[in-house]
Amino acid sequence: MSKVVVFGSMNMDLSIACDRVPQVGETLEGFGFICNPGGKGANQAVASSRLGAPTVMIAAVGNDSFGSGLLKGLCDSRVDCARVRSLSDTTTGVAVIVRTHGDNRIILDPGANHALTFDDVEPIMRDVLEPDDVFVCQLECDLAATYSAIRLAHELGARVIFNPAPARVFPDDLWECIDLLCLNETECEIITGILPSDDDSCRNALKVLKERGASEAVLTLGFSGSAALHGGDLLRKAPLAIEAVDSTGAGDTYIGAFAVALLEGKDLEGCMDFATKASAYTCLSAGAQQAIAWRSDLDAWDAPEPRIP
C-alpha cells in the first residue's frame, strides 16, 4: 500500500496569545499558554496520518522530556516513528509562538533537527521509500541532507512534495526532482521575487516556478486561499468562511492533506479542495497538532461555504 514518508522537523511549540505584538523592551500580559507538539515535519506527518494515509517519520529529537512528548504525540496519531532517533548530545527543537488575532509569529531553535546527515537518512529512505509513495520535506533540517534526500526520493520513483520553509533559494538541479512545490506568499517572494497579492501576480509567480522545473506549484495565501496553474489558467480556491482561532498549523495541514489526496488519486483541484477544508478545520482550535482533524471528524464537519472575495 502506498504511503507518505516525511523527512522533517520535530519541535515542541511554546505558544502564547496576546492582544498585540509587544514593542522592543515592552512586556505585555498574555493568555492561553499552550505547550504543544509541533515542527513542520511532524505537523505534516500528523496531518497525513490522521487524514488517512499510512505515514512514516524520519527525524531526530533530543533525549529529553520534550523529545519524549513529541514521540508520544506522533505515535498517538498513528505515525510510524520507528526511524525517529533520540539523541543524547543535543536538545529537542523548540518553537516559541506569539498568537495575535488568529495570526502568529514564530522563533525557532532547531536543536536535534539539524543533527541528521544524509548518511543517516539515506539507508532509511532506501529501506522504506517505494515507487508511488509520497515523500514530503521542508527546510527545517540540515540543508545538505534535505537536498540530497529530495534527489534520492526522485531517483527511487516517489512523488516529491517540497515545502521550502523557512524560505531560501535552493540548488537549480532540485527543480526537476519536485512534483509539487507548495509555498506561502513570503516564501514565493523570496524564491521568485514576486509577491503574489492578486491574480496577475499569482499567475506570474506560478509561471516562474513551473518554468524553473517544478511539475506543479501551489501557493498558500492565508486568508486569501490558495492558487495554482491548471492547463495554463489560474486556479483559485477561496478560504472557507470560518472564524479563525489560530492559524499555526494550517499551512502544514494543507500539505499533509494534499499528500493524502494525491495518494487517493485526486486531481489538482480535488487535492486543493481537500487541503483547503482540512486546513480550515485546523484554524478552529489553538495549537498545531492538537488542532488537526481526524478523517472521520473532517468528513462529518458541516463546513461553511467559501468566503466571498
Residues marked active site are found at 252
Q: Which three cell numbers stand for residue 306?
A: 467559501
Which ranges in 175-245 belong to alpha helices (H)? Answer: 185-192, 199-211
Cα–Cα nearest to 125, from 40, 10, 5, 45: 5
**Which 3 state secondary structure label does DSSP give 107?**
strand
**Which 3 state secondary structure label does DSSP give 19?**
coil
Q: Cis before residue 166, ω within 30 degrees of 0?
A: yes
What is the β-pairing status of strands 11-17 and 31-38? antiparallel
Strand 93-100: give its sheet, edge to edge: 31-38, 11-17, 93-100, 103-109
Q: Distance of CA 96 to CAs 42, 81, 103, 227, 292, Å?
A: 16, 24, 14, 29, 19
